[in-house]
């Protein structure tokens, strides 16, 4: 296959770039969206985002799980962290995400005395709970299908070990419902998708077939090296030039058409779909994973009676539009002036996978 041969001979990448430029003369201006935070960073870091401008715009969509966590949820978590007996644990990025009030975050709460611990995996949080039986340890489970199996596995382990002071606040989200909401939104303006290789490793590449089948949009499941991304862009451009939208799996060295059945079964065993708010997209039918009733003893939302309303963005923050791909980071009036990685206003600047953080670090 074309992309495999180019990947094995990096010096031939110049040929890929030339082909993409030739195809852009046939297609006219196009907008290609990546929907994975790791792609966002890789495209920015490698300089690929600026390589084909102005004919090909590479824009970032709702691919950063921390960024799409709504501010109302963060506000509720901040309140939970006020309880002296509760230890909040999560991945580092989420600890810096603001709620609806600028400057508030779990890290700030920690500085003020809250029990907040940065962990590398949910199993670390479970171990913390075992070591501290007098404390309630809550793990904030955030991510897409990539992290959902590990979180599910941890919950089953907590059940098996009977760790009663451990619970999970499930903020996990499946990707397909959000993509459907995005594509069906009035301001949607994208010609094709670079689909997330990590998610597809779990779901299978076939899980993205709805993009060409239901919406006539070409889609390529891509790996993360510069050569992967360039070859994926070429594959998208070929489909756009031929007007034959389809699904191609460029990341064949990892992704299978049907994905990882054991991981999918783990998700099905523990979670069920629920309507859920995504920052930038609003309420998405089926856009969240909920812990099934049979595991409700380990569901932090039920244990601590957590509820949240649709969140407000911090004043001036344009993250919702950035997440939808309708605004580039540099078009936000706060970008680099008021909002910086040292003093972020919105989550897109906080997260190591956020579009604004990528643009700040590598582009503008
Ligand atoms: Fe949000 Fe800051 Fe990005 Fe503006 S620059 S969209 S405030 S993260």
Q: Both 168 and 88 in a single domain?
A: yes
Q: Is the CB of 349 under 6 A from ligand 1?
A: yes
Q: How far is the CA of 91 from the centre of ligand 1 (A)?
A: 21
d(CA 207, CA 263): 14
The alpha carbon of 27 and the centre of ligand 1 are apart by a number of angstroms equal to 32
**Does one domain contain both 181 and 170?**
no
Q: In angstroms, rounded to a whole number, what is the distance separating the alpha carbons of residues 88 and 201?
A: 29
Q: Are 281 and 324 in contact (CB under 8 A)?
A: yes
Residue 72 Cα to ligand 1 middle (Å): 17
> Is the bond preceding 286 in cis, omega lying within 30 degrees of 0?
no
Looking at the domain assignment, is residue 349 inside a domain? no
Q: ∠ at Cα 64 (59, 65), nearest 5°?
A: 155
| Unique residue bearing structure tokens 């070429």 | 234
C-alpha of residue 146 to centroid of ligand 1, in Å: 26
Q: Are residues 37 and 112 in the same domain?
A: no
Question: Is the CB of residue 318 below 6 angstroms from any atom belonging to ligand 1?
Answer: yes
CA 45–ligand 1 middle distance (angstroms): 19
Q: Going by CA atoms, what residue is nearest to atom 3 of ligand 1?
A: 356
Mean pLDDT, rounded, for 11-16: 83
Both 104 and 239 in one domain: the answer is no
Q: pLDDT digit string (tens) for 289-342?
A: 999 999 999 999 999 999 887 777 778 899 999 999 999 999 999 999 999 988
Q: Residue 194 — left, alpha, or beta (φ > 0 → left; ψ -120 to 50 → alpha)?
A: beta
Residue 137 Cα to ligand 1 midpoint, Å, equals: 32
Write the residue with the smallest CA distance to atom 7 of ligand 1.
317
Cα dist. 314→70, 318, 347 in Å?
11, 9, 10
Q: Is 33 in the pocket of ligand 1 (CB under 6 A)?
A: no
> Of 48-52, 171-175, 181-185, 352-356, which gets the smallest average pLDDT?
352-356
Same domain, yes or no, for 164 and 77?
yes
Q: Which residues partner with 89 through β-bridges?
A: 117, 139
* Structure confidence at residue 43 (pLDDT): 95
Check pLDDT > 70 for residue 53.
yes
In a domain, 61, yes or no: yes
ipTM, 2 decimals?
0.99
Residue 162 sits in the same domain as residue 292: yes
CA 331 to ligand 1 centroid distance, Å: 9
Q: What CATH number should be reported for the domain holding residue 10?
A: 3.40.50.11750
Ligand 1: distance of its center to the CA of 251 in Å? 31
Task: Mean pLDDT check: name the lowest of 7-16, 205-214, 332-341.
Answer: 7-16
Average pLDDT score over residue span 245-274: 97
Tell me which of 228, 249, 270 is where a domain ends: 249
Residues 44-52, mean pLDDT to the nearest whole number: 93
CA 8 to each of CA 11, 12, 16, 45, 46: distance values in angstroms, whole numbers, following the listed order? 9, 9, 13, 21, 18
- Please check whether residue 357 lies inside any domain of the structure: no
Clarify whether residues 91 and 193 are in a common domain: no
Whether residues 209 and 98 fall in one domain: no
What is d(CA 275, CA 108) in angstroms, rounded to the nearest whole number? Answer: 30
Total domains in the fold of the chain: 2
- Rounded distance from Cα 92 to ligand 1 centre (Å): 19
Backbone angles phi, psi at 273, to 5 degrees: -70, 150
The CB of 348 under 6 Å from ligand 1? The reply is yes
What domain range is 171 assigned to? 71-175+261-303
350 pocket-lining for ligand 1 (C-beta < 6 Å) = no
Lowest mean pLDDT: which of 110-119, 233-242, 281-290, 350-359?
Answer: 350-359
* Same domain flag for 285 and 137: yes
DSSP state of 314: P
pLDDT class for 88, splitting at 50, 70, 90? very high
CATH code of the domain in which 136 resides:
3.40.50.11740
Asked if residue 56 and residue 155 are part of one domain, the reply reads: no
CB atoms within 10 A of CB 163: 17
Gap between the Cα atoms of 152 and 143, Å rounded = 12
Alpha-carbon torsion 343, 347, 353, 359, what sign? Answer: negative
The rounded distance, in Å, linking the Cα atoms of 345 and 330 is: 14
pLDDT at 78: 95
Q: Rounded to an integer, what distance in angstroms lies between the CA atom of residue 134 and that of residue 206?
A: 46
229 and 215 share one domain: yes
Confidence of residue 5 (pLDDT cuts 50, 70, 90): low
Question: Does residue 328 fall inside a structural domain?
Answer: no
Does residue 97 have its Cβ closer than 6 Å to ligand 1? no
Query: Which mutation among 96, 102, 279, 319 tests ligand 1's pocket best, with the greatest number of atoms within 8 A of CB?
Result: 319
**Enclosing H/E stretch for 161:** helix 148-161
- The minimum-distance atom of ligand 1 relative to the CA of 356 is 3
pTM of structure: 0.93
Instruction: Give yes or no for residue 202 having a pLDDT over 90.
Output: yes
346 CB under 6 A from ligand 1? yes
Would you state the pLDDT for residue 102? 81
Distance of CA 26 to CAs 19, 239, 334, 342, Å? 11, 11, 37, 43
CA angle 142, 70, 110 (to 5 degrees): 70
The verdict on the CB of residue 335 being under 6 Å from ligand 1 is yes
Sequence-separated (6 or more) residues with CB below 8 Å from residue 299: 167, 168, 169, 170, 291
Rg of the chain over all Cα atoms, to the nearest angstrom: 21
């Amino acid at each position: 296959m074309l992309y495999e041969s180019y990947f094995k001979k990096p010096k031939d990448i110049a040929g890929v770039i030339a082909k993409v430029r030739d195809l852009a003369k046939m297609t006219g201006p196009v907008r290609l969206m990546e929907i994975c935070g790791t792609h966002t960073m890789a495209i920015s870091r490698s300089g690929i985002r600026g390589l084909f401008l102005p004919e090909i715009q590479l824009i970032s969509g709702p691919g950063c799980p921390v960024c799409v966590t709504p501010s109302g949820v963060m506000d509720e978590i901040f309140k939970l962290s006020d309880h002296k007996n509760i230890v909040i644990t999560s991945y580092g990025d989420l600890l810096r995400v603001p709620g609806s009030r600028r400057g508030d975050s779990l890290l700030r709460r920690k500085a003020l005395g809250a029990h907040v611990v940065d962990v590398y995996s949910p199993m670390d949080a479970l171990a913390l709970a075992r070591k501290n039986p007098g404390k309630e340890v809550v793990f904030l489970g955030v991510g897409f299908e990539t992290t959902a199996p590990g979180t599910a596995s941890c919950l089953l382990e907590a059940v098996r070990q009977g760790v009663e002071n451990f619970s999970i606040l499930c903020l996990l989200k499946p990707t397909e419902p959000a993509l459907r909401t995005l594509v069906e939104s009035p301001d949607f303006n994208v010609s094709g998708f670079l689909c997330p290789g990590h998610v597809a490793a779990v779901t299978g590449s076939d899980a993205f077939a709805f993009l060409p089948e239901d919406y006539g949009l070409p889609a390529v499941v891509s790996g993360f090296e510069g050569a992967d991304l360039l070859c994926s862009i070429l594959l998208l451009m070929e489909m756009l030039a031929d007007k034959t939208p389809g699904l191609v799996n460029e990341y064949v060295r990892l992704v299978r058409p049907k994905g990882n059945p054991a991981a999918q079964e783990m998700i099905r065993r523990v979670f069920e779909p629920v309507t859920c708010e995504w920052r930038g997209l609003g309420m998405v039918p089926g856009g969240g994973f909920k812990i099934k009733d049979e595991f409700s003893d380990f569901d932090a939302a039920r244990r601590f009676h957590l509820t949240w309303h649709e969140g407000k963005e911090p004043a001036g923050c344009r993250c919702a539009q950035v997440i939808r791909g309708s605004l580039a980071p540099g078009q936000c009036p706060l970008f680099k002036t008021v909002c910086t990685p040292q003093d972020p206003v919105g989550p897109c600047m906080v997260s190591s996978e956020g579009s604004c953080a990528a643009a700040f670090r590598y582009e503008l």
